[in-house]
Amino acid sequence: MSAVNDTKLKSVIFLLTGLPSHGDAHLWISVPFCFMYGISIVGNSLILFIVKTDPSLHEPMYIFLSMLAVIDLGILISTMPTILGIYLFNSREISLDACLAQVFFIHLFQCIESCLLLLMAFDRVIAIHNPLRYASILTLPRIAKMVLLAVLRAMAIILPLPFLLKRFQYCRANVLSHSYCLHREVMNMACSDITVNIIYGLFTKFLTMGLDSLLIFLSYVMILKTVLSIVSYKECLRALNTCVSHLCALLFFYTPDISLIVIHSFGKDSYPLLQILLGYISLLLPPLMNPIVYSVKIKHLRVKIIRVFIK
C-alpha cells in the first residue's frame, strides 16, 4: 500500500493558469511580461552594480537598497520560468517537487523582503531621529548581522511549508488559479485534512508581514513625531522627502498582497480575473517599480546611473 501511495505522490502534476484568452493571444500577452522582466532585471542589476563599484555609496541606505534589489531579483528568477513558460510555450504542467520548490523560494523571498522593508524603516528612524549617531549605530557589521537575522528568520518560518505540503495526497483536478505555486493554492488541492497547514499559514503571515507591518507603522509614528517637532518648515519637508521612496516600496509590496487576502477571505470564487491580476501585481510590481522610484527620488543615485549610460 505504501508503494502505491509513493507512486501517486511522484506522479502528481499541477496545471498552472494564465490570463483567460485564446491560445493565439498568449504570444501577445507574453510581450508585456517579457518587457517587465527585462526592465526589472536590468534596473535591479544596475543598482547592484553601482552600489558595489562606487565606494561613496557604501552607506546604510544604499546597502539596504542593494539587498532589496537582490531579493527582487530572487523573486523574478523564481517566477519567470512558469509565467513565461505558459505564455511563450503553453507549458502549464508542473511536477509536485518543482511546485514545492517554487512555493519555498517565493515565500522565502517575500518574507525576507518584508523584514528588509522593516530594517529600511528602522534606518529612516535613526537618520531622522538621531542623525548625529547614524553612522555609529548602523555600522557595516551591524547591518550584516541584521540582514543575516532576517534571512535566518525567513528560513526558519518558510522551510516547513514544503514538508507540510509534501505529506498530502492529491487526488483532485489539480488546476491552480495562478501561473506559479503558492502555499495556499497547493494546500487547497489536497484531499486530506489541511487544518495544520491553515493554522501554520496564518501563523507565518502574522509572524512575518503582520508583525513587520505593525513595527513599520510604529516606526513612522516615531518619524512623524520627530518631524513635527522640527521648527523649520523646509527642514520638515526635507526629512519627510527622504521617506517617500520607502513609502512607495511599502505601497507596492503590501497593497496587492492585502487585497488578495481580502478577496480570498470574503470572495473565494468571485472575480477570478482580478485575483490573477493581483497575483501578478503582488510579485512583479515591486521588482519593477523599486529601482525606478529610488533612482528618481535619490539624486545621488540618479547621477551615478546617468553617468553609466553617458560614458
The residues spanned by each domain of the chain are 2-310
Integer Cα distance of 186 and 105 in angstroms: 14
- Alpha helix locations (H) across 138-243? 140-158, 160-166, 183-188, 195-205, 211-228, 233-241
* Residue-wise pLDDT tens digits, 73-96: 999 999 999 999 998 888 889 999
* Residue-wise pLDDT tens digits, 245-263: 999 999 999 999 888 878 8
pLDDT at 114 over 60: yes
pLDDT at 155 over 90: yes
pLDDT at 2 over 70: no
Residue 268: pLDDT band with limits 50, 70, 90: low
Range of 17-21, 292-296, 303-307 with top mean pLDDT: 292-296
pLDDT of residue 23: 59
What residues contact residue 153 under an 8 Å CB cut-off, 6+ apart?
Answer: 111, 115
Integer Cα distance of 217 and 283 in angstroms: 22
Among 215, 236, 214, 216, which residue's Cα sits nearest to residue 226? 236
CATH number, domain 2-310, options 3.40.50.1000, 1.20.1070.10, 3.40.50.620, 1.10.10.10:
1.20.1070.10
Average pLDDT, the chain: 87
Integer Cα distance of 150 and 116 in angstroms: 7
Integer Cα distance of 286 and 79 in angstroms: 13
> Which pTM value belongs to this model?
0.91
